[in-house]
Amino acid sequence: METFFDQLAIGASTGALYALLALALVFIFRATDIVNFAQGEMAMFNTYIGWSISRPLSFSWIPFLSIERHINILNWHPEVFGIPLFLGSESDGSTRLGYLLIVIGTVAIAFVMGGLIERLIIRPSEGKNLLNAVIVTLGIFAIVNSIANWRYGPVPQNYPAPFKGNAVDFGLFKLGQHSLFALIVGVAMMFAIYVFFQRTKLGLAVRAAALNPQASELMGINTGQMLTLGWSLAAAIGCLAGMLVAPSVAGISPNLMLGVLLYAFAAAVLGGLDSALGAVVGGLAVGIGQTMVVQYIGSEWSDIVAFGLIIGILMVKPTGIFGSPVVKKV
């Protein structure tokens, strides 16, 4: 029975990551009606950016920017729970950016990149055939994947994780520190997203722009900006998910997010592509179901069960569990 609860906890932790990526998919689908196949690759590339800024610092190529020298003069290394906040000295003597700084920097870059992609690539293909936009996201997928392959190579690289220690024993179940961290961050992000969309004016504006562009334009909302914001947010959330996924698998590689994206799709469809709650429930269900199948049936069945289940559920509920029904008009 202990293994059961262990697997449940691990499944919930993976599921939280699936749910994060599924939420990103749902944002983009609600805002633009596009199923974004490039979501996982965008996250992967941004995670790589996080990897490259997490490497030992050397700013020798810009002499006046040697930050670590300036900051080290102060000899000020604040820490939170043992994690260096800004700069940390590694055991090999090199200086690296602290985890928090890496996360902030990477998410900021991802935010800008998501917006740029929407403005430069998605917008020219909007308002035409829906299939065109989907093909465009496939194009982004191919470009980002091959640039990552070319720039960083196919070999998985170690990824920094803030907590790498032993598993925490909760009595009923044990959970690795990183999985616990991922679960906590995932749940916190979901809560933050909920608050943003339900309790802030900006979130309301984004929802309005997605729901009824014409009416919200008349109400003075800049719908174009809201769409860009939606893509930016989705990219940032996906990037965060990628940074949590990378340490829990073999490390970061160009195909890091491919499997995760497929499960996130499964999660999003399971819950209904236009429902944020559905994405969360679907993500957890897919994550827990996957670990259970691997544990009790066999790992070669995990994908078959996951995708077979999706087809089955779509047969019963054609728009997912929480999705709103499609209304056809003449």
Partner 1 sequence: MKMTGNYRQGIERFIPSPAEAVVLATLLFFTWYLYGGTGNDVFAGLSTFIVVAIAWVLGVAIRVALNDMRWWLLVIALLLVMAPWLALNTFQIAVMTEVLVFSLLLHGLNVVTGLTGQMSLGHGALVGLSAYAVAILVDHWDWPLLPAMAAAVALTFAFGFALGIPALRLAGPYLAIATVAAALVFPLVLKLDSVQDYTGGVQGLRLHKQPQPPGFIGGFLENESIAKIPEQKKFAPEEVQVKERQKFAQATYLYFLCFGVAAIGTFAAWNLQRSRFGRAFIAVRDAEVAATSMGVNTALYKVTAFGISALYAGIAGALLYMVVAFVAPESFDLFNLSINPIAYLVIGGLAAPGGAMVGAFGYKWGPEVIKKIARTDTDFDKLQGALTGLMLIVVMTRMPQGVWGSLTRLNSFSWKALINETKAWVLSRTIAYWLAIALGVAVVIAIGAWFAPVWGVFAAGLLVVAPQDAWAGVFLWLRSLPAIGRRRAPAPGDAR
Please report how close the Cβ of residue 328 comes to partner 1 at its closest, in angstroms: 5
Give me the residue label for tokens 């997605």: 210
Please report how close the Cβ of residue 316 comes to partner 1 at its closest, in angstroms: 9
Can you tell me which of 10, 136, 233, 240 binds partner 1, judged by CB under 8 A? 136
- Does residue 149 belong to the site contacting partner 1 (CB under 8 A)? yes
Please report how close the Cβ of residue 321 comes to partner 1 at its closest, in angstroms: 12
* Burial class of residue 100 (count of CB atoms within 10 Å of its CB; 0-12, 13-18, 19+): middle
- Does residue 236 belong to the site contacting partner 1 (CB under 8 A)? no
- Does residue 307 belong to the site contacting partner 1 (CB under 8 A)? yes
Burial 211-228 (b: 16+ CB within 10 A, else e): eebeebeeeebebeebbb
Please report how close the Cβ of residue 69 comes to partner 1 at its closest, in angstroms: 21
What does DSSP say about strands 83-84 and 79-80: parallel, antiparallel, or unpaired? antiparallel
Binding residues among 18-47 for partner 1 as defined by CB under 8 A: 29, 35
Q: Which residues contact 80 (CB under 8 A, 6 or more apart)?
A: 100
Can you tell me which of 78, 202, 308, 324 binds partner 1, judged by CB under 8 A? 308
Are 82 and 177 in contact by the 8 Å Cβ rule? The answer is: no
Residue type for position 312: G
Binding mask 106-125 for partner 1 (x = CB under 8 A): --------------xx--xx
Please report how close the Cβ of residue 329 comes to partner 1 at its closest, in angstroms: 7
Q: Which one of 63-71, 102-110, 141-149, 175-183 is the stretch in contact with partner 1 (CB under 8 A)?
A: 141-149
- The C-alpha atoms of residue 301 and residue 264 are separated, in whole angstroms, by 18
- The C-alpha atoms of residue 18 and residue 279 are separated, in whole angstroms, by 9
Q: Give the interface size with partner 1 as a residue count (CB under 8 A).
A: 51
Please report how close the Cβ of residue 162 comes to partner 1 at its closest, in angstroms: 28
Report residue 80 as tokens.
Answer: 């939170």
- Does residue 155 belong to the site contacting partner 1 (CB under 8 A)? no
- The C-alpha atoms of residue 230 and residue 208 are separated, in whole angstroms, by 12
Distances (CA, A) of 210 to 207, 226, 318, 322: 5, 8, 22, 18
* Site for partner 1, rule CB under 8 A: 29, 35, 120-121, 124-125, 128-136, 138-147, 149-151, 262, 265-266, 269, 273, 300-301, 303-304, 307-308, 310-311, 314-315, 318-320, 323, 326, 328-330
